[in-house]
Amino acid sequence: MILTDTHTHLYSEQFDNDRDEVIQRAIDNNIKRFFIPAIDSTYYQAMFELEKQYPESVFLMAGLHPTHVKENYKEELAIVKKLLTERKFYAIGEIGIDLYWDKSFLQQQQDAFKEQISWAKENNLPIVIHCRDAFDEIFEILKEVKDDKLYGIFHCFTGNISQAKQAISYGMKLGIGGVVTFKNGKIDQFLNEIPLKHIVLETDSPYLAPTPFRGKRNESSYLVNIVEKLSIIYNLSTKEIAKITTKNSKDIFSI
């Protein structure tokens, strides 16, 4: 059984004291593929070092996170564009729109999102979408750019059944993580209506730890708790959940 964490910030400062142990715990729990989203230019060196240390397990993305779209976002985008010409990445992410913390850069977030989607298409790469308090704004752009080259993952999906189907209609898999285990998470109430072929697994570690670790630092080994919850929701064995969701991740990332 091989599990895939399609979204984990293993380079985060929160793992500086025990990163190797965290990764080993995950590997010991059959989580052997880690897809690493970008945030901004200050993290790439740590990402490259992580990849160098675990070349068989770590796969990097490039992109500018929407909460890091500020006055200098064009300079940050230029760095992403340059990196895409210099080395291999497996996705453009995480990108999107976040209106939870700050709405003042909405226009810049929209511009950055569209620009990075265009680079994904040029490079035949998937996108990994970050959406917080911005479903309408995200869907407006996806509707505008939809074509047969648009595909990817709607990371940390927390919407309703209608929004889930809409995301899938734009070529997105749903990234399901710790929220599915929360009592007030709500997605567990309808997820069995979404065929498993549209689902990939993620932790978003160190954030959004699943029950019973909610409120603590998340880590990739906790993916097993998410698998166990999906096993109940879909009435399938954990091995079957692992098999299907890892295949889905391979379809998205082409590895």
> In degrees rounded to 5, what are phi and psi of residue 124?
55, 45
Closest CA to 200 of 130, 158, 252: 252
Stretch 12-26: mean pLDDT, rounded? 98
How sure is the predictor about 185, in pLDDT bands with cuts at 50, 70 and 90? Answer: confident
The class (CATH top level) of 3-253 is: alpha beta
DSSP string covering 189-239? GTGGGS-GGGEEE---BTSSPPTTSTTS---GGGHHHHHHHHHHHHT--HH
> Taking the CB of residue 81, how many other CB atoms lie within 10 A of it?
14
**Does pTM surpass 0.85?**
yes
Stretch 217-223: mean pLDDT, rounded? 98
Confidence at residue 139, expressed as pLDDT on a 0 to 100 scale = 98
Q: What is the pLDDT of residues 42-75, one digit of tens each?
A: 999 999 999 999 999 999 999 999 999 999 999 9
Query: What angle in degrees, to the nearest 10, is found between the helix axes of 73-86 and 106-122?
Result: 10
d(CA 238, CA 236): 7
d(CA 97, CA 110): 7
Confidence at residue 177, expressed as pLDDT on a 0 to 100 scale = 98
- Contact between 77 and 64 under an 8 Å Cβ cutoff? The reply is yes
- The three-state secondary structure class of 69 is coil
Using a pLDDT cut of 70, give the percent of the chain over it: 100
154 pLDDT more than 90: yes
101 pLDDT more than 90: no
d(CA 202, CA 148): 25
The counts of H helices and E strands in the chain are 8, 8
Rounded to the nearest 10 degrees, how much is the dihedral formed by the CA atoms of 46, 15, 188, 1? 80
- Number of C-alpha atoms within 13 angstroms, CB side, residue 5? 31
Query: Poorest-confidence range of 108-117, 179-188, 194-203?
Result: 179-188
CB contact set of 61 (below 8 Å; sequence gap of 6+): 35, 36, 37, 38, 89, 90, 91, 92, 93, 94, 128
| Token pair for 146 | 């939809």
